[in-house]
Amino acid sequence: MSLRDKKHPIRFALLLAAFSALGPFTFDMYLPAFPQLTKFFGTSASAIQVSITACLLGVGVGQIVMGPLSDVHGRRKPLLIAMIIYALASFGCAFSPNIATFIALRFLQGFAASAGMVISRAIVRDFYSGVELTKFFSLLTMIGNLAPLLAPIAGSAVISFSTWNGVFIFLGLLGLFLSSITTWKLKESLPVERRVPSNFKALLRNFKTLLQNRTFMGYALAQGIMMAGIFAYISGTPFIYQKIYGVSPQVFAMLFALNGISLIIGAQTVRRLAGRITERRILLIGMSMAFITSTVVLIVVLTHGPLFSLVIPLFLFVASLGLVGPVTFTLAMESQGHIAGSAASLLGVIPFLLGSVTSPLVGIAGEYSATPFGVIIFTTSLLAIIAYVTLVKNDKTVVASEKQVLNH
């Protein structure tokens, strides 16, 4: 990717979205094949679900490793190696002899996929800053949000003329395709003089610096806590819609597809507002919207309101993340250009860590109670605001920077 490509943001965004979409395709594309996998390996559904956990764990660990590596060795080399590993792990999954091997390879697959997710964000920071960064990242988010919608559909399509093996062969071919793109289309975006020293202590020091940066952590936690609410939404709605409200799997799929649409609307709104009002104001709008809609959700589940009274505020709640996500990324990464890979990895792993806490809590009262779901959604919205107010709002550097932007 050369500087000339900055003049073609949609093409650039499509290129990077292909890498960032690797995560959703790795998570979601094989979901329709669960019954086949259970039968083939002669195991339980819960054992197959462990493969999802293994993949998510791989993504979480991988982001912590791949981000810093890209700060040391540049973006292109770690990405190319990871894509080759991804292809090999995918083909390995397709021909796994037993469930233990399959789960182990799913971890490796998630680990490699994390490189596409975290390094693509670091590349964005290498090229853009300020309002340009906000606008481009919202465009990338908008395109990337199509992946969770397309992945299960693509998986169903492959299974319709193949078996579960075909899904992983497809993912292996996707890994080879992305390897070729990295080789022939992606130019190095981090010059040698901007790279960090290649030693473990320096990497730990970078993470320590980020963790001690109140402003960075304020934005990171605001985004991560809200994402934890989204993970709770993903975990809870299959049971709430189907068990409590009695909708069919087909209707549930349609309702779940609204996620991508609402996120796209939110990201597109950011693109239109960026440059007209400050990123911090967009963030406040998004967090306020999340708090109001989550309050409505809590009231609906406590009073056992009708389905539409739950679907509408949840649609708006998810859309609020479309507002919050791009601007928190921009504001958190703005001053971290020298360690963008480490910063992007921390921004990426925090939602997974927090989501691993909220997801199982949703079902703590059983399949027929939505109360924990409502409480968690409301609590995450409230805690995100508290993180922002406590760590960011009164930061003198941030306030001075905002005044300078407004004066211009």
Each residue's pLDDT tens digit, 330-369: 888 877 766 777 888 888 888 877 877 787 787 778 768 8
Cβ atoms 71, 340 nearer than 8 A: yes
How many CB atoms within 10 Å of residue 172? Answer: 20
- DSSP code per residue over 314-377: HHHHHHHHHHHHHHHHHHHHTT-GGGHHHHHHHHHHHHHHHHHHHHHHTTTT-TT--HHHHHHH
pLDDT winner (highest mean) among 93-97, 189-193, 273-277: 93-97
Q: Could you tell me the pLDDT band of residue 405, with boundaries at 50, 70 and 90?
A: very low
Can you spell out the DSSP letters for 264-317? HHHHHHHHHHBTTB-HHHHHHHHHHHHHHHHHHHHHHHHHT--HHHHHHHHHHH
Q: Which of 7-11, 205-209, 211-215 has the highest mean pLDDT?
A: 211-215
pLDDT band of 4, cuts 50, 70, 90? very low
Say how many CA atoms lie within 13 Å of 27 toward its Cβ. 18
In the prediction, which pLDDT does 53 show? 74
**The pLDDT value given to residue 2:** 44
Residue for token pair 């901007």: 194
What lies within 8 Å, CB to CB, of 408 at 6+ separation is none
Model confidence at 3, pLDDT cuts 50, 70, 90, reads: very low
Q: Encoding tokens for residue 24?
A: 């959703």
Q: For position 267, what pLDDT does the model report?
A: 81
Question: How confident is the model over 88-129, as pLDDT tens digits?
Answer: 999 999 999 999 999 999 999 999 999 998 898 888 888 887
pTM as predicted: 0.73
Q: Is the pLDDT of residue 264 over 50?
A: yes
| Domains contained in the chain, CATH given | 9-189 (1.20.1250.20), 212-403 (1.20.1250.20)
pLDDT at 408: 46
Q: Is the pLDDT of residue 217 over 80?
A: yes
> Cα separation of 377 and 295, whole Å?
8
Tell me the C-alpha distance between 365 and 305, whole Å.
Answer: 18
Q: What is the pLDDT of residue 1?
A: 43
Average pLDDT over residues 300-318: 94
Residue-level pLDDT at 47: 77
| Predicted confidence (pLDDT) at residue 404 exceeds the cutoff of 60 | no
Whether 146 shows a pLDDT value over 80: the answer reads no
- Dihedrals φ, ψ of 335, to 5°? -105, 15
The predicted pLDDT at position 91 comes to: 97
DSSP 274: B
Would you place residue 8 in the very low, low, confident or very high pLDDT band (cuts 50, 70, 90)? Answer: low
What's the chain's average pLDDT? 84
Beta-bridge mates of residue 277: 274
Task: Judge contact between 293 and 318, C-beta under 8 A.
Answer: no
Q: How long is the chain?
A: 408
pLDDT tens across 46-57, in order? 677 678 778 878
Contacts of 151 (CB under 8 A, 6+ apart): 24, 25, 27, 28, 29
Kindly state the tokens that stand for 346: 């921390």
How far is residue 87's CA from residue 105's CA, in Å, rounded to a whole number?
A: 11
**Cβ atoms within 10 A of the Cβ of 279, count?**
25
What integer pLDDT is reported at residue 6 of this predicted model? 52
Q: Which amino acid is at 127?
A: F
| Choice between 404 and 123, residue whose per-residue pLDDT is larger | 123
Q: Indicate if the pLDDT at residue 398 is higher than 90.
A: no
Beta bridge partners of 274: 277
Q: Percent of the chain scored above 70 by pLDDT?
A: 90
Asked if the model's pLDDT at residue 402 lies above 60, the reply is: no
Q: 10-24, 169-183, 193-207: which range is least confident on average?
A: 193-207
The two structure tokens encoding residue 211? 């963790």
For residue 178, pLDDT over 70 is answered with yes
Question: Residue 205 and residue 209: Cα distance in Å, rounded?
Answer: 6
Q: Of 144-148, 315-319, 353-357, 368-372, give the lowest mean pLDDT range.
A: 144-148
Helix (H, G, I), strand (E, B) or coil at 195: coil
Q: What is the dihedral of CA 274, 276, 281, 286, to 10 degrees?
A: -50
Tell me the two tokens of residue 83.
């894509």
Rounded CA gap, 174 and 89, in Å? 12
